Amino acid sequence: MSRPAMERTRKVHAHHEAELGPSGPGSVVLNVGGGTGALVLNTPADLDRREIEISREGAPRTHSQVRERRVGRRVRYAAVYPDLPAGVYTLWRDASTPAAVVTVSGTEVTVADWPA
């Protein structure tokens, strides 16, 4: 897809979602198996509330918001991508810059770290 077509597609799909606060233990449920996996992307705190897009080759981008995740006394920051078909995904730093590539298994939750 050409860059102008991608920009038009992005504008058509732009929308606002409710901003969510920190999540606590057990607040995220992920169903995996049968070719469907999930991705937990750990990030630094300075990415809190940022939308990070990912895409599988030939498929439209999807996004998730980085949120504070509280587990016991620990605080972490992560974006969670549920219900992903197994495959290789590009993590996007911005509209045109790939940040990393991760492989999502269709049988488990994949955990990755945001690149420095």
Query: Is 75 inside any structural domain?
Result: yes
17's tokens: 């979602």
d(CA 15, CA 31): 26
> How does pLDDT run across 52-94, given as a tens digit for each residue?
999 999 999 999 999 999 888 899 999 999 999 999 999 999 9
31 close to 63: Cβ distance less than 8 angstroms: no
d(CA 48, CA 114): 12
Number of structural domains (the chain) is 1
Query: Is 10 inside any structural domain?
Result: no
**pTM of structure:** 0.77
Query: Is 87 inside any structural domain?
Result: yes
Q: How does DSSP classify residue 3?
A: H
Query: Is 47 inside any structural domain?
Result: yes
Q: What are phi and psi of 46, to 5 degrees?
A: -70, -5
> How does pLDDT run across 37-49, given as a tens digit for each residue?
999 999 999 999 9
Query: Is 97 inside any structural domain?
Result: yes
* Amino acid present at 2: S
Average pLDDT over residues 19-24: 58
The domain of 51 spans 31-113
